[in-house]
Amino acid sequence: MTEKIYFLDDGSSFIADFVDGSEPDATASFEIKSGMSRLANRYSVKSGKLVDDYPDDDDEAVCVKHQEAEIAAAKKIEDDLKKGE
């Protein structure tokens, strides 16, 4: 089994193992080696290399940070709209 993380041109990314079939069209892909986290949410591509954006956090902490970022972004939109009124 060879798991890879795929970065698509719509900005999304995911980790999958296409054992017997074609791989998806991706702008970049990297093998997820043994010992690496399999949480796609924590990775990005910088200068052509795979980077763990949360080296000090476990997977659950990364997900919680994403949830908190979603809540903060929603509040910012509300605040910006109120300013515009």
Partner 1 sequence: MAFIPSSASGGGSKLRKGFAGRAQRRACYVMWSKTSSGDHYVFYDENFNQIIPAYNNYTTRNYVTATNVVQYHSGTFTTENTMGYSGWGSSNSTTSSGSTLYASMFAFNAMNGSAAGYFYSDGSATTSRHPSYASDNKLRNARMFFPSDHANRAIIYGIEDGYVFARHVNKSSREELPFEGTKDVGISGVSMSQGSGMAAYNNTRKEFICVKLNNGSGSFDINKFINWDFDAYPSPAAALANATLDFTYTVQHPSWGTTDLESEQNHKLILRDDGQIHAYVQHNHSSGFRCYYWDQPATDPGATINTTHAATLTNTTSYGRDQSQMTGQRIVSSRDGRNYCFMAPYYYYYSGSLRHFTGMGETAVGPSVSLSDTNSSFGLQVLPFRDDGFIHWYPGNGYASNPTGAYLYNGVRVGGINQVLESNGNEYRYLPMWHGSNTTNYPGMAAVDDYRLFKYGSGSSDNSAYNEHIRQG
79 binds partner 1 (CB under 8 A): no
Closest CA to 6 of 37, 44, 33: 44
Minimum distance between the CB of residue 22 and partner 1, rounded to whole angstroms?
8
**Of 51, 61, 72, 73, the one binding partner 1 by CB under 8 A:** 73
DSSP state for residue 19 in the 8-state scheme = S
- At 31, list the tokens: 């093998």
Alpha carbons within 13 A on the beta-carbon side of 42: 18
Binding site for partner 1 (CB under 8 A): 1, 3, 8-10, 12-22, 24, 38-41, 59-60, 63-64, 66-67, 70, 73-75, 77-78, 81
